[in-house]
Chains A and B, each alone.
Chain A
Amino acid sequence: MDCSRVQPLLEEYFEGTLGEGRLAAPRSAELVADHLATCARCAAELHQIERTVAAFEAIPQVVPSRELLAAITSRVAELPAPRERRTASGWRWVAVTAAISMAALGAISYLLPLLITERLAADIAALGKLENAAILIREWFAAAPAILLALWVTLGKLWQWFALTARAVAPTVGAYLAVEVGILCAIVFVLHARSRRTPARQTLLI
């Protein structure tokens, strides 16, 4: 390596990052070091970098006035506390998403039973070899709003505690979707468990 190639690399060499991310990383630093051992001009250039950085880092700390601390705290005192805004915005956010979700769930629980025709129910029953599926499905969809409301309130409270108090995870749309998916999984699980009940009850329902 000659001086014209080494000098543009000296800053990076000094920083210890020469060739980072490149295939020739270790070799580049070695080549520069070899050149510096034999070239007084480049060595002087590196020394100049070291002196400049040393001078910069030797700049002493400045001491702000005590009045600055008082000024900051008195101006902060004029602002509303973060908790107040947080709680208000948190509740508003929970209320809006709860309203939207409840409306969506209500619409689904109203519309789905209408879609379950006798014929479709019979087909489902045939597929699952489940007797009286139509009655069971209608029964469950009739109870769905109450079940969903209970689930929503419970999970909503848990989520609110998690988001506002624990604050370990930001209240993102993705996280909320995860809760929604959790609700759906719970519903499917309950329906599935219910569908496996003894046939005696199903017979009675006929």
Chain B
Amino acid sequence: MRDDSELISLCLAGRGSPADHRDAFDALVARHYRGIYNMVYRMLGNSEDAADLTQETFLRVYSRLDSFELGRSFLAWMRTIASNLCIDHLRRRGVPAVSLDERLESGVEEADRAAALEKQVELAEDSRRVLAAVQKLPEKQRAVLVLRHVEGLKLEEIAETLRMPLGTVKTMLFRGRAAVREMVGEL
């Protein structure tokens, strides 16, 4: 199986038809769309926005592919693009996201299949409470927490992804977790 760099090279190699390039890019999408969707979903808190922003991420990745530096991590580059889109989206939205927890409690029926699948997932009660609390954090704190605990990135990787100083990442992480603990109460 070809790795990311090989597929990107195929997209940019200057050989073959546009359809060949898209085939290579489609393979990249198929490989990464679940991961990006998960990350975006955890930041935004609802499947509809997550699907839109995931699409937007890949369109932006495709249109900027010629600026990607081969040899670097493609996934890290996509995470940066996705995180920035999420932060911008949350900032524009300006109101706290409606959490999955609240959606289920309020009996709002999900229309799409993604939501139907989501309902099948049994979240542990603690996780549900933590997730609901995370959705109430400011956008950048939320991004830091998701990258740290959903994506499992190191602090240095988060700093690089979000283009933030390491100290700022630490501050946001610690304050974000403290805020979550305060909202969740004792677990």
Q: Kindly provide the distance from the CB of A169 to the nearest chain B CB, expressed in whole angstroms.
A: 9
Q: Kindly provide the distance from the CB of A206 to the nearest chain B CB, expressed in whole angstroms.
A: 54
0 or 1 for each of A55-76: is its CB under 8 Å from B? (1 = yes): 1111111111111110111011
How long is the Cα–Cα vector from A64 to B35 in the complex, in angstroms?
Answer: 9
Q: Is A154 positioned at the interface, with any CB of B under 8 Å from its CB?
A: no
Q: Is B180 positioned at the interface, with any CB of A under 8 Å from its CB?
A: yes
How long is the Cα–Cα vector from A67 to B112 in the complex, in angstroms?
Answer: 10
CB <8 Å contact, A61 and B38: yes
Contacts of B30 in A (CB 8 A): 69
Contacts of B33 in A (CB 8 A): 64, 68-69, 72
| B: interface residue count bin | 35 or more
How long is the Cα–Cα vector from A67 to B55 in the complex, in angstroms?
Answer: 11
CB <8 Å contact, B127 and A55: yes
Q: Is B108 positioned at the interface, with any CB of A under 8 Å from its CB?
A: no
**Which one of A44-52, A95-103, A142-150, A179-187 is at the interface?**
A44-52
Q: Which residues in chain A, 13-65, are within 8 Å of chain B measured between CB atoms?
A: 15, 17, 48-49, 51-65
CB <8 Å contact, B130 and A59: yes
0 or 1 for each of B144-187: is its CB under 8 Å from A? (1 = yes): 01000110100100000000000000100110011011001011
> Which residue of the partner chain, among B38, B70, B150, contacts A56 with CB atoms under 8 Å?
B150
| A: interface residue count bin | 35 or more
How long is the Cα–Cα vector from A165 to B65 in the complex, in angstroms?
Answer: 14
Q: Is B123 positioned at the interface, with any CB of A under 8 Å from its CB?
A: yes
* Majority secondary structure, A binding face: helix
How long is the Cα–Cα vector from A167 to B71 in the complex, in angstroms?
Answer: 10
CB <8 Å contact, B55 and A68: yes
CB <8 Å contact, B177 and A76: no
Q: Is B131 positioned at the interface, with any CB of A under 8 Å from its CB?
A: yes
Q: Which of A12, A65, A79 has the largest count of B CB atoms less than 10 A from its CB?
A: A65
Q: Is A83 positioned at the interface, with any CB of B under 8 Å from its CB?
A: yes
Contacts of B55 in A (CB 8 A): 68, 71-72, 75
How long is the Cα–Cα vector from A84 to B16 in the complex, in angstroms?
Answer: 11
How long is the Cα–Cα vector from A61 to B117 in the complex, in angstroms?
Answer: 11
CB <8 Å contact, B155 and A87: no
CB <8 Å contact, A64 and B174: no
CB <8 Å contact, B150 and A168: no
* Majority secondary structure, B binding face: helix
Q: Is A85 positioned at the interface, with any CB of B under 8 Å from its CB?
A: yes
> Which residue of the partner chain, among A58, A79, A84, A86, contacts B126 with CB atoms under 8 Å?
A58
Contacts of B62 in A (CB 8 A): 76, 79, 82
Known interface pairs A55-B124, A72-B54, A81-B22; A63-B34 also in contact (CB < 8 Å): yes
Q: Kindly provide the distance from the CB of A141 to the nearest chain B CB, expressed in whole angstroms.
A: 39
> Which residue of the partner chain, among B22, B41, B63, contacts A62 with CB atoms under 8 Å?
B41
> Which residue of the partner chain, among A58, A77, A89, A167, contacts B124 with CB atoms under 8 Å?
A58
CB <8 Å contact, A56 and B124: no
Contacts of B65 in A (CB 8 A): 82
Which residue of B has the minimal Cβ distance to A16?
A: B155
How long is the Cα–Cα vector from A82 to B14 in the complex, in angstroms?
Answer: 9
Q: Is A151 positioned at the interface, with any CB of B under 8 Å from its CB?
A: no
Q: Kindly provide the distance from the CB of B52 to the nearest chain A CB, expressed in whole angstroms.
A: 10
0 or 1 for each of A121-162: is its CB under 8 Å from B? (1 = yes): 000000000000000000000000000000000000000000
Known interface pairs A62-B114, A76-B22; A17-B51 also in contact (CB < 8 Å): no
Which residue of B has the minimal Cβ distance to A59?
A: B127
CB <8 Å contact, B127 and A56: yes
Residues of A within 8 A of B (CB): 11-12, 15, 17, 48-49, 51-69, 71-73, 75-77, 79-87, 89, 164-165, 167-168, 170
